[in-house]
Amino acid sequence: MSNFNDYYNYMTNGYNNDFYNNQNNFDNNTFQNTFLNMDNNPKLYSPNEGFTKGNMYENLYYGYKNYKPMPIIANSEKESLLNQIQMYKFAMNDLALYLDINPKNSSLIKLYNDYLTKSKQLINNYEKLYGPLCNDVLMNTSNWSWNNAPWPWESDK
Amino acid sequence: MWKYEKMTQYPINIKKKDLKMARYLIEQYGGANGELAAAWRYLNQRYTMPDNKGKALLTDIGTEELSHVEMISAMIYQLTKNASIEELKQAGMDLHYAAHGMDLYPTDVNGVPFTVAYFASTGDPIADLSEDMAAEQKARAVYENLIDLTTDPDVIGPLLYLRQREIVHFNRFKELYDEYVKKYKKK
């Protein structure tokens, strides 16, 4: 199993159909939950649902009163791309906290690598279109684009 | 060493000015259970954790708390942007303005400046981790109080998110705490 897709195909051959049928709201959810459950792993939300909730772990989530997590709405293509980057970075961060104290969990490390690969592609796209998100990339030599607005705390993104 | 990334951990897009809410939120910037205290509590305690799990967890949660300092700061900034002197007076933010203008300044909700007396370090990882667990629960409770004080969905969204983060952090600290109790206290 040299790549992630092989791993995916291998691991999903034996999944539980009932479980699969109950999980059709989020594209990535099924596969993650399925193969993670086989290892007695924590049940994970998809990056999208986890990011919206602020929590990747189903067993740890509990809401406050009747409040529902607020949908994340982008007002532009740029914001939408940034939100996807934030989403994968969030998922990676939450996996990392678990892996810090469960460092031998291969399936979770593979998932971490998968999210990292996806986030890198998105960051690359974003930076080509809108300038650097971090000053560890090659800079345009005619203009120091790092200090281009907006800054993260400015609402007029 | 830290890298700065030009994004908040979760989007902050507040469209409505609300100086009173900004005043309340300052508690989670420079208050006893606020994000600044959390970041420094964990980043300060990490050096003497007994194994790599503890060093990694305190480094990573401490780093995440820095991004929460930024989220709370962004919320305060956006809630107070373009406020008039009259509006500042009405919301009781004229006192803050007298000392700091429209700058942010880490205080608690009563204007008491941030102090490292808000956190401890004992040289005992089990004592330190129980403090960390309590800190996360107290921050969760304060976020719930803050959610009660607003009806603006642009403010509630990030507060619900930050509240969940306290819950996740509490559980990770607790897992490490349980492991350390077994490992170091039951011999």
Q: Taking 80 as the threshold, does the pLDDT of residue B114 lie above it? A: yes
The reported pTM is: 0.89
Residues in A lying within 8 Å of B, measured between beta carbons? 51, 53-57, 60-65, 67, 69-70, 72, 75, 79, 82-83, 85-86, 89-90, 93-94, 96-98, 100-101, 103, 132-136, 151-153, 155, 157
Residues B15, B81: Cα–Cα separation, whole Å: 10
- What digits encode the pLDDT tens for the residues B38-54? 999 999 999 999 999 99
- Other Cβ atoms closer than 10 A to B143: 23
In degrees and rounded to multiples of 5, residue B122 shows phi and psi of -115, -10
Question: For the residues B64-72, what does the mean pLDDT come to?
Answer: 98
Q: What is the pLDDT of residue A40?
A: 67
Q: What is the pLDDT of residue A157?
A: 52
CA-based max dimension of chain A: 58
The minimal CB distance from B168 to the residues A60, A64, A89 is found for A60
The minimal CB distance from A54 to the residues B57, B160, B175 is found for B160
Q: What is the pLDDT of residue A41?
A: 85
CA distances from B166 to A83, A94, B71, B128, B136 (A): 22, 12, 14, 17, 5
Helix (DSSP H) and strand (DSSP E) numbers for chain B: 7, 0
In sequence order, the β-bridge partners of residue A44 are: A57
The type of residue at A90 is: F
Record the tokens describing residue B69, joined without a space: 């300092």
In sequence order, the β-bridge partners of residue B107 are: B113
The type of residue at B100 is: H
Record the tokens describing residue B141, joined without a space: 């409770």
Question: For the residues B120-130, what does the mean pLDDT come to?
Answer: 97
Q: What is the pLDDT of residue B88?
A: 98
Residue of B nearest to A53 (CA): B161
SS (H, E, C) B99-148: HHCCCCCCECCCCCECCHHHCCCCCCHHHHHHHHHHHHHHHHHHHHHHHH
CA distances from A103 to A17, A79, B44, B96 (A): 30, 34, 23, 46
- What digits encode the pLDDT tens for the residues A35-79? 444 456 899 999 999 999 999 999 999 999 999 999 999 999 999
Residue ranges of the alpha helices (H) in chain A?
4-12, 17-21, 29-38, 47-53, 77-101, 106-130
- What digits encode the pLDDT tens for the residues A22-43? 333 444 444 454 444 445 689 9
Q: What is the pLDDT of residue B187?
A: 53
Contact A133 B6 (CB under 8 A): yes
Domain chopping of chain A, boundaries: 4-63+86-147
A44 SS3 class: strand
- The domain over range B19-185 is classified in CATH as 1.10.10.10: no
HSE toward the beta carbon, residue A136, CA cutoff 13 A? 8
Contact A86 B10 (CB under 8 A): yes
Give the DSSP letter of residue B81. Answer: T
Burial class for B151, CB neighbours closer than 10 Å (0-12, 13-18, 19+): exposed
Q: What is the pLDDT of residue A156?
A: 65
Which residue has 């971090």 as its token pair?
A: A134
In degrees and rounded to multiples of 5, residue B125 shows phi and psi of -60, -30
The C-alpha of A146 sits at a distance from chain B's nearest C-alpha, in angstroms, of: 9
Q: What is the pLDDT of residue A28?
A: 47
Contact B6 A151 (CB under 8 A): yes
The type of residue at A100 is: D
Per the CB < 8 A criterion, the answer to whether A58 and A43 are in contact is yes
What sign has the CA pseudo-torsion B168, A65, B72, A111? positive
Window B:26-85, CB contacts with A under 8 Å: 52-53, 56-57, 60-61, 64, 70, 73-74, 77-78, 81
The C-alpha of B109 sits at a distance from chain A's nearest C-alpha, in angstroms, of: 21
The mean pLDDT value of chain A amounts to: 81
- What digits encode the pLDDT tens for the residues B56-67? 999 999 999 999
Record the tokens describing residue B166, joined without a space: 């306290």
The C-alpha of B178 sits at a distance from chain A's nearest C-alpha, in angstroms, of: 11
Bond before A150 cis per omega within 30 degrees: yes
Per the CB < 8 A criterion, the answer to whether A8 and A31 are in contact is yes
Domain chopping of chain B, boundaries: 19-185
Percentage, residues of chain B above pLDDT 90: 98
In degrees and rounded to multiples of 5, residue B96 shows phi and psi of -60, -45
Q: What is the pLDDT of residue B143?
A: 98
Per the CB < 8 A criterion, the answer to whether A107 and B60 are in contact is no
Q: Which residues of B form the catalytic set?
A: 35, 65, 68, 136, 166, 169
Contact B14 A155 (CB under 8 A): yes
